[in-house]
Every structure is written in C-alpha cells, then in structure tokens.
Structure 1
C-alpha cells in the first residue's frame, strides 16, 4: 500500500484535463458524429465496465473491422489512449486473441497505419481488459483516425470507458524528480551519545550499501576467471546486485535432456554472494522463438509438464536460498510456446505456483520488453499483472526491460512507469541499456533515466544489461571499455550517481549529546571519533521511518 500512497499524486499530474473523444463512455443514445464501425455493426449494450452502457461491435467483415473515431490533435504533442474491451466469443481453434489499437495518419495524402497498442493474450474469461498506448504526433499532422481491430472477424466484442487526452510535457520534471528522491529515498538519522567526556568528538556516518538496488548482468565464466580481474573489479566497485546473463536459462543450462549443468551458474552465484552481492534468477522459463531446449519439441502435453517440473526441481535443489528473485516466464506476452504445447492458457499462473511451492521465500517476477522503451504492450503488461495479482498468484514484482537510446522521451517513459505501477506492485528495471555511440549524449540520457527511475516510488532497483564493451549485447551501451575496463563518460556519470549523488557520507562535530542527519536508506557504518581516533563503531540499517540509535561511549 505504500506504493499506491505515493503514486497517486504522481499520476494525476501527468494527464491533460480535456477529453478529446466524443461520447467516450458510450452513454449517449446516438453514435452520430462520434463513433463509427468499419464494415461492422455498432450498437449499445447494457453490459458495461463503468456507467450503464457500452458499445457492442458485431457482424465484422474483415480483420480491420471495428469501432473507430476521428480525433483532432496538435502537431508535436503527446497523447494517451485508454479503453476497456470485453470479448463476447472466441474464434474456433484459438486459445487467445490479440486486440490491436490502430492509428491511421494521413500525411501529404498518403495513409500510414500504425499498431500502437497490443494486448496479445485476450480471452472471453478475462472479462473487461484495459487496452491503450501513448504516442507523439508528427509535426505536420492535425488529425488521426483511431480504431480497434482483432484479426479474426468472427470475434464480437464490447468497448467501454474510452479516453484520449493530452500528455503534457513537464519542463521541470528533473527538479521534481530530485525532490521526490529526497522525499522517498531518504530518512532521518538521530544519534544519541551517552557518557561524553570533554570536547573534540565527531560522528562519521558512512553508507555502505543502498536499499535501492544498483546492479548489472554478469557473464558467469568471466566473473570467476582470474584473467578477467579488471572486469570483476569494475563490477564489484560499482554494483551491489547481479544477474547471470545466460547460465541459468533452461536452453543453455540443459542442452541434453537429463544433463543440466548447474555447476557453472553456481560457481558464479557463490562468488558473487561471497562478495556481498545479491543475485536475481533469470530465468526459469522462456517461450519466445528459439529460447527453449530443442529436446522438449514434440513432447506430449503431460510429458512436457513433467519435464517442466523436473527442471524446476533440478534448479531449485541447487539454488535454494542463493537467489533473491526469479523471472518466472520471461517475455510471456511475446511468446506462447508453453501455452500452445501444454494446452493450458493459464500455464503462467501454474508456473508461479510451482516455483513458489518449491521455494516459498524467493520473490517471483514477470519480465517483459516493449513496455517502457515503447508503448506497444505497456497497458497489456499492467493488465496481466493485475490479473495475476487478483487471482492470488504469488507475484511479487514487475520486471521492465528498458533497452533504449539517447532519444528516449522522458515524458513518455514517465507515463509508462505510471501505467505499469497502477498494478500496485513493486517495479524493477531488470535490463537497462542506453545504446548510443556519442558518449556525451549517452551520459546525459543515462543520468536522466536513472534519475527518473530513482524518483519513482514503485521502482525498487535498476540493473544494467552489461557495462563493458568486451562483454555486451549492445556495444554502444558500454560504460567501460578496453582491456583495463576503464570508464567512459557514461561510466563516470554512473559512478558519480552511485558513489556520490545517491550515497550518504557525512561527518558532524558533536556540540551536545545528539546528532541529527538525513541519509539515503540502506546499510551504514557509524564511527564515533575523538580527536581523530575511532572510539566506537556500529553497523546499522536505515529504512523508512528513520533511525534513532543510542551509543554508549
């Protein structure tokens, strides 16, 4: 509930007040001059998400047949669309249907069609599903044509509670973000000193770890191979969380059935934990093309489910107590392998339950792309998290992959974080890259996005998807280069944020019996010094609500 408390005022500020759709709630008796139906029949229904009526779309003739409206817009401005859709039937042989929110732009007489918002796993038993997107209008465009389509024409559906509003740019976003950081990431520290004799006392308050997670992916072999000492040193000097790049993925771990190689990932996990680094598990299952073991292809449904159970047991039996998180079913809005091959449309829910039963203490996550760097599945991702949460599934948090560049629009990114945070669950930026060859642009973009993440009350941590150009998926996203792993401009900017800007290290002279300070939440070492010599040391943790400690000298 803490997330929702802080989030609400944050969300309200970003929307425009004026509704640009006509008859957005479908309460008007007449559709004349507002909604139209493209090669379909539009009528009213008394089944509604909100209010008393919704729009009913039937007799669809084509995949693109659906409800539509023309909207006047301002060139260069950002807008947000949202609606609720309910399928009335399923096409024969389909486990899911994809609801697409389309926009037609007519520029210089040429029509351009864009799929801005996808909800790829919609079923009748989902009930009302939130769909939508955000977009920026081209500079020479004054009007758009927005419509909803489902590829299978035989599918009928309802629409309700639609909205299309301006998403205003906030020129003061960064100062506001920094104010939020001070408000939500810091807490007061009070140190009461007893038995002080004389003067010359100082209190040194030094943060040793951050509650907000700063981390990076690592390559399992390189993090333990002594010939990569510079790679290891840069990591340990600049990060407190980690995730293995490939070594815990099922395909890479078990090329041959019955021969999982858990020695490789566990060597890395044990080395990281020995250094005090926390480790995320990435990932238990992955269903996009080419990401599962080849040997499960062709298995019958029951045999595949048994193989999945065996995989969970093989992994958890070795990792139990070593990992903080698991990405349960990676990118499952983009890949449906396990749904299709087990015949279970809700197999993702079962995966969460299976892993939770095997290790109740580990925190379980969704993890997805095209939800922050683009708006294509932002709303669908929020909807999925809400459905899992409402079903009582042991979902702890929402993982966001954010692979972007220096042109990322902060206003749009801020909106997408807010949208996903509507699920009321913690958010982790699990894969963050700024792919930019220009080092100055990369440094500025990295600082801006890290500031936004740090300032968002739902976000608990950020993990980079690599830092060294010698081991990186996107080389232009490197923070450090060369055999000596030397920081570039973006790397130095990150180091400033991590070691200085968002780190507390203060020394205060004692003038009475009490010392007051404020610090970023995390672990601390408190040293009481007299005439420059340490006379008392205590290790403490600063969390919400602050810390009051009594030190007897």
Structure 2
C-alpha cells in the first residue's frame, strides 16, 4: 500500500521528535536522494525564508506537478507536516491561487486522493506563507509521498523550512487539561468581615455568571414566541450567550433591495438582552455560493461597494450597542464573491475597517470551518489572521466553527487550536456540534472537547450551534428533544459541566474575620447568614487577579 500526500505546510514541533524529511531546510543545493520534482524542474534559490537557500519549482507540466518527497512512516501514528511557500508569479486572469496538500492512497492497485490541506488565497504579494497539516497514517501503510499542487501549471514557486515529525498522543491529556482549567479559569476570593458579634455566622458564595462564555445559536422567532416557552426556558437555564441562526444574515434580512427587515432580529436581540444574555452578530457578509442577496448579482463594482456600505449603515443604525461581536466576512477562505465582484483582493480587511469606523466598540471576528474538525484550513486561517493583525486591522478574535462527530481526535484538535493560537488573538468556538446518534458517545465526546476548549488559554468561549432537535441544523447534535425540550444524555452531561463542574457554589462557616475560597472567574452573589438568617447580600466580580470583598455588618 502506498500513500501520496499533496502538501504545502510545515510546523516544526518542539517535542523532541526526529525530523523525518531529508534536506528539510534546503540548505543542500543537491536534491539527489531527497526532494524530487514530478513533472517540473527543481533548482536551488538564494531567496530563502530561513537560512541561505530554498527550492525553486519551475517548468510545471500539469496541475499536480510539484515538489515531492517519499517518507517512511508507522501505521496508525499521527504526524505533522509544515513548510513555507512563496509564489513567484500569478496566472493570467487570476486574483488568487490555491495551493493544496493532497494524499494519494494506493490500495490493491486502486488510487484514492484526499485533499488534506488548502491555502486558497495565495498571491505574489503574500510573500512567504506557512502551509501545514496533521495526518494520521492509515493502518498497514509504511510510506507516504508528499507533494505540492497548484491548479495552474504556469505558476512557479519557492519552498523552504519544511518539516515532518511525529505528533505523539498524551494519555494524561484530561488530567493536564483539568489542571490548566484550575490555573487559568479560577482565582482566589477573600471575604473580610467587619463588626462580627459572637458566633453562628456563615458565608455563601454563589456564582451567577461565568467569564468564560457558554452559549448557543437560537431561532429569532422561537426565542420570543409564547408557544415555545419550553425552548426558551431550556436556553435561559443553560446559556449566557446567544447568536441568531439566520435573522441577521444579509440574504435573509434583505431579500428585496432597500427593504431590510431588522425588526425581526432586533425583537429577539432585545428579548435576550433583557434576560441578561449577551449576543453575537452573525454575520455582516458571506461570500460562499448562494449566500448573498440575489439582487447583488449584475451590479458593477462601484454599485456593489455602495450597496455594502449601505448594508453596514442600515444594520448598525439598529444594532449599535446591542451586540458584543460581529462575524465580519463569514467563511471567507471558502468563498470569494465580494473579492471577485468588487475587484478588491483585500476586501476582508476593508470590511473590518468599515465596520470598525461605523461602530468602534463592537468586537470583530473572522469565522471559518475546517479549522478544528479537520486541518484542511487550519494553517491558512492562522496565516490570514496573522497578516491582518500585522496590518493593524481591528480584528479582535478568531472564530472557529467545530462541526464534528464523536470520533474527533483530541491530540489533533489540540494541535489545531495551538496552531491558530500562535496568532496571539482570542479564540471563540462559534459553532460547536457533535453530530452523533448514540447519546452516550455524544455525551463523552462533548465532555472531552468542552474540557479541551475550557482548558485552552486562548479560548474565551464556546457557542453550540443549536440545542433542541426541533430547531437545529444537525438533529443528531441536539442536547434536548421532544416538545417539552428534555435533556438527553449529552444534554445532562453539558448541564453537569455548566452548572456544577465549572461553577462555584461555596458555603463556609466563619471562624475568624476572613473567609478564603477559590472560584471560577465571573460574577457572584455573596450572602452572610447569622443563625440561618441572611443579614447581608453583596455582589462582586471575580477576575484573574482575585478579589477582596469587604463586608460591613
């Protein structure tokens, strides 16, 4: 059995694992016995990302023609590959080029091709770009063949600083994650009591809100419709953040030009905020196929740009001050409608600037899939966010969709989160689903992934993409079912994590003038009782530095 990998990324791990590539840094100008160029020519170049040399790939005869190397591997093991790539020219008529990492598996003489990683928006002005992926070797496979692919054969490129290393599993990951949770999500509380008289005092410390965001998508109508009170009750009992599934999307909001319907989403937003729920805005623009209003088609570039500005002004004139976040250009690595139709290759950056100028206080996000549930877009997404940050774009955070099944490997998931976290910006898991029919398997997978998210220092919150089988994109991902919206095994597991495991409820008898405790970061209500009767109630917010609460009795 033979596997061929189509690749373009490199991530050098600090795990002490041996480097498996030959001539990974291209410092040897001889490519005999290491790299080869299938259907192309490889020469050495002094234009390098690191060191003194890189590989220059020219005279490509086909889309699959590119740099390649065979690597011996162990069946069933996880590996990571990374490299840096630089385009030397653009194909005629192309705004972007896509570099792919493919895997070709040859089993019993049959070839199977797998698209392992994409870098879909490369340009010559991108400079050196990192490309990377993680990969689990199929059973009975002992060698892989990695190569780079660009659809347009006329495009030449450089490659440098490559690596292929083992990504080891950690059998103790969960205990390590729980230790991290204690370290990064908790802080000390000191209650100083003044004017105590005698004994019989108790202090109750009750957390009312979590700093870490627990939320869900909601249906704009059902969250306010009196006939769906069970749906509303489950949401308000179990979540503190919300995002409207569809009501703020341009296509749904303004199906007819000049007649945006903002009453529907704002009724829901105001109801949620009235209950103390924080709301994310999803989304201002969406460029994948069929996700924009049909009436945009056929517009000239200047007319489309004006329509985009009008849309921003229409929306923010109604939402200003009501939303915590905006997903600015949804899934923009997968769709380029607004780039192609405006002629602006950097329209994403422009969108961020426009919205920031219109409402400076709202936090702006990218939002993308195939970043956590697979490694197809992980590094391209990291690269995009890194470039935006360096350009001074007002990008607050990186939204990661994670629609997956119960099978998702925790080691791979952590690697992908760590890769995106290299940007140095907050991460939000904006759309989380575990699509699994078996309730117990779903519950276990949900707990494991939520634990990893909670333990990651870059992650600030997790929003489920729905919770009830009567209103959800993927019914097998529901946490509650039936007309009474009753939790299933996964729902009960979530409730245990949210209400108990990651929530602080402490009652302590007073034996001196101070009471000490440790709690999860968030908002609290403090009650002092004397002989069972509440004599004082105070509210405070616990942040990472800890809190001293002074109580005068």
TM-score (norm 1): 0.97
The equivalent of 1:112 in structure 2 is: 112
Q: Equivalents in 2 of 1:104, 1:293: separation in Å?
A: 39
SS of the residue 2:276 aligns to: coil
1:494 paired residue number: 494
1:104 positional shift? 2.7
Alignment of 1:187 onto 2:184? no
- Match in the other structure for 2:135: 135
Query: Counterparts in 2 of 1:70-81, with a 5 A limit?
Result: 70-81=70-81
| 1:220-299 paired onto structure 2 within 5 Å | 220-299=220-299
* 8 Å contact kept, 1:14–1:168: no
2:99 aligns to what? 99
The answer to whether the Cα contact below 8 Å between 2:247 and 2:265 also exists between their aligned partners in 1 is: yes
Cα contact 1:26–1:53 (8 A) shared by 2: yes
CA–CA separation in structure 1 for the residues paired with 2:15 and 2:126 = 27
Matches within 5 A, 1:458-497: 458-497=458-497
Within 2, Cα distance between the matches of 1:240 and 1:253?
25
Map of 2:432 onto structure 1? 432
For residue 512 of structure 2, what is the aligned residue in structure 1? 512
Aligned to 1:315: 315
1:203 and 2:203 aligned: yes
Please give the secondary structure, in 2, of the residue aligned with 1:309.
Answer: helix
CA contact (8 A) 2:12 2:163 kept: no
Corresponding residue for residue 160 of structure 2 = 160
RMSD: 1.1
**Shift in alpha-carbon separation, 1:197–1:13, aligned structure 2, 3 A:** farther
Structure 1 match to 2:68: 68
Deviations 1:93-148 (A, max 9, x none): 00000011223333333333222110000000010011111111001100000000
Q: Is the 8 A contact 2:12 2:165 kept in 1?
A: no
Q: Distance in 1 between matches of 2:363 and 2:207?
A: 26
User: Does the 8 A contact of 1:396 with 1:426 survive in 2?
Assistant: yes
Is 1:384 the equivalent of 2:384? Answer: yes
Counterparts of 1:455 and 1:108, CA distance in 2:
43
The answer (yes or no) to whether the contact 2:12–2:82 under 8 Å persists in 1 is no
Post-superposition offset of 1:89:
0.5
How far apart are the structure 2 equivalents of 1:93 and 1:384?
Answer: 23
Give, in whole Å, the separation in 2 of the partners of 1:268 and 1:384. 33
- Give yes or no for contact 2:13–2:165 (8 Å, CA) kept in 1: no
Q: CA deviation at 1:537?
A: 1.0
Deviations 1:506-532 (A, max 9, x none): 001111111110000000001111111
Residue of structure 2 in register with 1:421 after alignment: 421
Helix, strand or coil: the match of 2:473?
coil
State the alpha-carbon separation in 1 of the partners of residues 418 and 72 from structure 2: 25
Q: Could you tell which deviates more after superposition, 107-116 or 406-415? A: 107-116
- Following superposition, the deviation at residue 15 of structure 1 comes to 4.0
| 2:552 matched residue in structure 1 | 552
CA deviation digits over 1:260-314, x for unaligned, max 9? 0000000000000000000000000000011000000000000000000000000
Cα distance in 2 between the residues matched to 1:229 and 1:161: 57
Check if 1:48 corresponds to 2:48.
yes
Q: Which moved more, 1:214-223 or 1:40-49?
A: 40-49
1:35 matched to which residue of 2?
Answer: 35
Equivalent positions of 1:343-354 (< 5 A) are 343-354=343-354
Runs of 4 or more consecutive aligned structure 1 residues displaced over 6 Å after TM superposition = 11-14
What's the offset of the Cα at 1:549? 1.7
Q: Is the 8 A contact 2:281 2:325 kept in 1?
A: yes
How much does 1:12 deviate? 9.6
In structure 1, what is the equivalent of residue 371 of structure 2? 371
**In 2, distance between residues paired with 1:477 and 1:541?**
34
Cα deviation for residue 74 of structure 1 reads 0.4
Task: Verify the 8 A CA contact 1:15 1:165 in the aligned structure 2.
Answer: no
CA shift for structure 1 position 534: 1.1
Kindly tell me: are residues 14 and 198 of structure 1, through their superposed partners in 2, closer, same or farther at Cα, counting changes over 3 Å? farther
Mark the CA change 1:39 to 1:423 in structure 2 (over 3 Å): closer, same or farther.
Answer: same
Structure 2 CA distance for aligned equivalents of residues 421 and 246 of structure 1: 28
- SS of the aligned residue for 1:247 comes to coil
Distance across 1 between alignment mates of 2:109 and 2:179: 47
Q: Give the distance between the partners of 1:202 and 1:381, measured in 2 at CA.
A: 51
3-state SS, counterpart of residue 233 of structure 1: helix
In 2: Cα distance, 1:67 partner to 1:15 partner: 26
Matched, 1:456 2:433: no
Residue in structure 1 matched with residue 4 of structure 2 by the alignment: none
Q: Distance in 2 between matches of 1:283 and 1:226?
A: 27
Normalising by structure 2, report the TM-score. Answer: 0.97
Mapped partners of 1:488, 1:118: distance in 2: 37
Displacement of 1:192 in angstroms is 1.0
Q: Note if contact 2:45-2:56 (Cα within 8 Å) is conserved in structure 1.
A: yes
For 2:136 and 2:64, the matched residues in 1 are separated by 23
Conserved in 2, the CA contact under 8 Å of 1:369 and 1:400? yes
In structure 2, what is the Cα distance between the partners aligned to 1:453 and 1:257?
41
Mapped to 1, the partners of 2:16 and 2:165 lie a distance apart of 6
